Structure 1
């Protein structure tokens, strides 16, 4: 496939979701870069050019205008606040910062056409964000408290390997947070299911949290779908259609990374974040699975924030990154605006039972949920670069044609609304 792409002399190349080129070292970026640069014309499309940092813009700029902002080291020092840090005993450039953002915004305005959803979808109902803070049961918080104490101890005695140790500890605490709050998340989902007319999305990151959410829905005997990294693209299409069209399928349990982009769930009017993620770009993209063309209601977004866990720190980090991307792309500081819910209203969550992972719900999910799509209907992209086979006459009955058309047509509740790509 790579050779087939490189051997083509494309007149025009269009790259959708171009922010996937954000990493300079990723294989995807190295393959796409010469393909885009060789083309006579190139267009990059994305709703989130940078998910959290200016460094994520460089490869996209380089693909369109090589050396326009100088070499990578020049760009990193000027706009990424690049500095040397020690990871273990090895010095390394850290380019995760941000600097001179007003200047970068002005330069980007010469090569980027930026349109916000509020500017082009003026009739789309608003998002209503709400933070749901709650305290963990003392037993669930015990392991996390130990990790926080370990973190403080490391920071009090800095050494050449402190940064590497802290990063590993934070990753561990992220997983601990998921397990610690899983029992409360289950109770919250069951509370929402008491409203028989409500369809909603639940986003999570760790498999442990996805499993806990699945258990909550199964225990409530509610029909649902689940999309994580193990679900193929063809199966996702069928699951999305099921959620959109079937009134009895009330919950979509979704991985932030696997299902947070490119899918439409406008049948839902509520979105629940069981977990946070590392950058605001992924979070906002996930929100917009429900908040997009075809949505007729306000979208209520609930963030479940467990006090005394990594959630509190991550919420602050998300808002700092949102200010960086807002200044860079839109010329103004932004943050994830969310009203804080009445803490007393959610006191029941602190009495949730501790949750531990098990395999039973996974087996039930496999039996009850997934329907496999015929692989012969999938096409290898390499076939588009091969000579076309001779056409043969194919007789199809009217009934079969009609049935195929009905099965592959999405009927909109409003004939004036059409499906939209994920470029806004």
Structure 2
């Protein structure tokens, strides 16, 4: 969560300690008490509108600040301090009970939660009403990575191109985007309602912009296209320039992006990708646009071709090339696996957004495409950085055509139909989402089959003992919290709100090396079932042919490879620490050599951008913390070109946390279904798997205790 500077906090404490009224009916606590009752009442009426959510977040922030101030105020007597802390506990209890009615409110309390401008203004207003002196927050100074700046390079071939084109200047020959200022919507907080419009989509709501019908299903090089691919290319040919291409994995997003660039003449084209797919992008350029040249940037770009049409660069080295990439004259930019930039505070996201802004500043209407089959990983606001990359929004408001479309709805965020109209306005900016079931009937079905295994021997006993120890530690914490509670709240049976709070505390302190934590336990479970998963993979390979084995950790991959060697089964290994050349050689061996029966793949390194449809069976030896990783892995096999039904065998250790995590992964898959695919109320909201796993473990222990 965004925080004020340390200097600001110190000033605030000095201001409060010198000016704070001492009477119980004055100060910030009565204001928070009245406000929290208003929020509680609104949520009870099932009215968690954006302004209610904003007020909820501000109350929680101020209550947290006031608690810290009360604890540090040496002028308070012990009795007075205890009284004020008790009043703050009452506010916290109402906040927790309110969030229990609408679990999406918990996301507003996360450390990385965004604090909108309207929330900051409400916070200042509450402090003023409490009699505090409030200073306006200064604009934060931009973070400058001096180390990255010193490492920046300009490849020699790029310098040669610049010398060959000494008069390369910004090109604004195309019509510049409209600078639309809000009129009827001036003063409204709009970004929060826009995000909520996707979270609260009606069942059956459209999930894609309206696309034109193509006149041909052939690429310029004569390759066959599917209808859904040709539609995007036609839209680019007709002038559409921003796309969030969110087709399910396996529907050919790479081909659509490259052919859209060809249709829009968006060259030179910059493509930012995960490291593992750089080589594959260069191959796809040769395949779909053979009349164009591609260069792949490695390290300092010593072997780059500055005169190429397509520049492929991985996220990890963007900072090194940030300077010249912004002035090279790119007319288009593609961000592959765009969910990689969802965290706006990361250097990766900041680099991508900075380059995108420079490209727009030098070319009026560049082709900007964000490609991801899983645009939502944890929360609806994963959209924020992607929309900003596309130029639909900035830090505070919608921009250009999107603002104009919102004005044209004639609605404001409090009107009943605003969410529906706002969602459609965003879709028409360029969200394209198609599912395999809708557009690729010729791709065989897929299924996830759970394969329960029993962990025996010392490893199994050790894991079950560790889970029991973790549960005992949380039960003790729960009991202590009950004993020291000062709010006077009494709950019959298990206090499920307190259970959740204990789970959150446990998760936040999982860096404690003295005890077991849920992350370490899941890894131990993966190690314990590695041999069983490898044995099952070996049986599949002998009976059905090629199999892909996915694991999250290197030691699990090592155990699997040792098993395959002992069984005389040839395998290829695809890992994150390999060079692009070695990785591609291993992929080619699995794809082309009939003797190579198994591909042993890292879930993170091989879960994106690879075509492994030569197999129709895969084994998920370890569970991930996101449904997105699991889906990406399955879709390396279940994609265009597959001719057989696909089965993903998910190995699950019974009587362990593994079972709970598998259930939570399946529930979490509902986020994208509701926001993008119009699944309506049938899908559950965003959930935090680590916290929910701990909630389940503690609840089971308390129920067992009776």
TM range (shorter): 0.5 to 0.7
Alignment of 1:319-334 (within 5 A): 319-332=666-679, 333=682
Match of 1:188 in 2: 536
Shift of 1:70: 4.2
Shift of 1:126: 0.8
User: Is structure 2 residue 486 aligned with structure 1 residue 163?
Assistant: no
Shift of 1:254: 0.3
* TM-score, length basis structure 2: 0.41
Provide the secondary structure at the position in 2 that maps to 1:259.
coil
- Quick one: distance in 2 between partners of 1:204 and 1:60? 29
1:120-165, Cα deviation, whole Å (9 max, x unpaired): 2220111132111122115222222222223223332157953323
User: Is structure 2 residue 556 aligned with structure 1 residue 209?
Assistant: yes
C-alpha spacing 1:247/1:134, structure 2 compared with 1 (3 Å)? same
User: Is structure 2 residue 441 aligned with structure 1 residue 122?
Assistant: yes
**CA root-mean-square deviation:** 2.7
Provide the secondary structure at the position in 1 that maps to 2:669.
helix
- Quick one: distance in 2 between partners of 1:297 and 1:132? 21
C-alpha spacing 1:64/1:223, structure 2 compared with 1 (3 Å)? same
* TM-score, length basis structure 1: 0.67
Match of 1:379 in 2: none
User: Is structure 2 residue 383 aligned with structure 1 residue 57?
Assistant: yes
Provide the secondary structure at the position in 2 that maps to 1:184.
helix
User: Is structure 2 residue 553 aligned with structure 1 residue 219?
Assistant: no
Match of 1:17 in 2: 337
- Quick one: distance in 1 between partners of 2:683 and 2:598? 31
- Please say which of residues 275-284 and 184-193 is displaced more in the overlay: 184-193
CA contact (8 A) 2:533 2:619 kept: no
Shift of 1:44: 1.4
1:267-311, Cα deviation, whole Å (9 max, x unpaired): 111111111111111111110111111111111211111112231
CA contact (8 A) 1:132 1:305 kept: yes
User: Is structure 2 residue 586 aligned with structure 1 residue 242?
Assistant: no
CA contact (8 A) 1:154 1:166 kept: no
Provide the secondary structure at the position in 1 that maps to 2:549.
strand
Alignment of 1:33-48 (within 5 A): 33-38=353-358, 39=360, 40-41=365-366, 42-48=368-374
Counterpart pick for 1:109 among 405, 420, 427: 427
- Quick one: distance in 1 between partners of 2:466 and 2:673? 33
- Quick one: distance in 2 between partners of 1:309 and 1:252? 28
CA contact (8 A) 1:104 1:328 kept: no
- Quick one: distance in 2 between partners of 1:272 and 1:9? 45
- Quick one: distance in 1 between partners of 2:580 and 2:626? 24
C-alpha spacing 1:261/1:334, structure 2 compared with 1 (3 Å)? farther
- Quick one: distance in 1 between partners of 2:545 and 2:461? 35
- Quick one: distance in 1 between partners of 2:345 and 2:510? 24
User: Is structure 2 residue 649 aligned with structure 1 residue 286?
Assistant: no
C-alpha spacing 1:119/1:165, structure 2 compared with 1 (3 Å)? same
- Please say which of residues 33-42 and 220-229 is displaced more in the overlay: 33-42
- Quick one: distance in 1 between partners of 2:596 and 2:422? 46
| More strand as a share of residues | 1
Shift of 1:265: 0.9
Match of 2:609 in 1: 262
- Quick one: distance in 2 between partners of 1:184 and 1:261? 25
- Quick one: distance in 2 between partners of 1:146 and 1:107? 54
Provide the secondary structure at the position in 2 that maps to 1:330.
coil
C-alpha spacing 1:101/1:265, structure 2 compared with 1 (3 Å)? farther
User: Is structure 2 residue 350 aligned with structure 1 residue 30?
Assistant: yes
Counterpart pick for 1:135 among 439, 454, 459: 454
- Quick one: distance in 2 between partners of 1:12 and 1:66? 16
- Quick one: distance in 2 between partners of 1:282 and 1:227? 16
Provide the secondary structure at the position in 1 that maps to 2:542.
coil
Match of 2:276 in 1: none
C-alpha spacing 1:35/1:304, structure 2 compared with 1 (3 Å)? same
Shift of 1:193: 3.6
CA contact (8 A) 1:127 1:300 kept: yes
Match of 1:414 in 2: none
Match of 1:352 in 2: none
CA contact (8 A) 1:126 1:298 kept: yes
CA contact (8 A) 1:49 1:57 kept: yes
Counterpart pick for 2:578 among 216, 231, 237: 231
C-alpha spacing 1:226/1:269, structure 2 compared with 1 (3 Å)? same
Counterpart pick for 2:621 among 257, 266, 274: 274
- Quick one: distance in 2 between partners of 1:311 and 1:101? 38
Provide the secondary structure at the position in 1 that maps to 2:637.
coil
In the alignment, structure 2 segments of 5+ residues that lack a partner are 1-320, 399-417, 482-501, 685-706
Compare CA radii of gyration and give the structure with the larger one.
Answer: 2
- Quick one: distance in 2 between partners of 1:220 and 1:34? 52
Match of 2:157 in 1: none
C-alpha spacing 1:34/1:68, structure 2 compared with 1 (3 Å)? closer
CA contact (8 A) 1:265 1:289 kept: yes
With CA pairs under 8 Å and 6+ residues apart, which has the higher RCO, 1 or 2? 1
How many residues of Structure 1 are paired with residues of Structure 2 in the alignment? 307
